[in-house]
Amino acid sequence: MDGQTIKDTLGRNIKILRARRGLSQADLSEKADISINFLSNIERGIKFPQPDMLSKLANALGVEVNKLFLENIAPDDDKELLNHMSEDLTKNINLAMAEVFKRYLG
């Protein structure tokens, strides 16, 4: 694997993991204590972070550093994504129902 392929794989995986966790670039950059521009450049395969930054990104995403370099992210992540989406949907439905009850019944 050449250098650009490694950058592209890293960027793609960070973007996928970030999206699966429902994080915006701003959210992840804040959690990892890096600038949004630098994160954007990593995700696009333009920049490559130093080892300490890789560790911060992995921690912010809740994964081991090596997972950031896998060519194919494990299928278990799809299950995690569905669970996360389901939890978010349930939370939003409950909030909407509470608002309806508050507005019209109370």
Q: Compare 34 and 81 and report the one with higher pLDDT.
A: 34
How does 68-103 read in b/e, with b if 16+ C-beta sit within 10 Å? beeeebeeebeeebeeeeeeeeeeeeeeeeeeeeee
Q: What's the pLDDT tens digit per position in 3-47?
A: 899 999 999 999 989 988 889 999 999 999 999 999 999 999 999
Domain parsing of the chain, residue ranges: 1-71, 74-106
Q: Compare 12 and 73 and report the one with higher pLDDT.
A: 12
| pTM for the structure as a whole | 0.68
Q: What's the pLDDT tens digit per position in 61-70?
A: 999 999 999 8
Instruction: Match domain 1-71 to its CATH number in 2.60.40.10, 3.40.710.10, 1.10.260.40, 3.30.43.10.
Output: 1.10.260.40
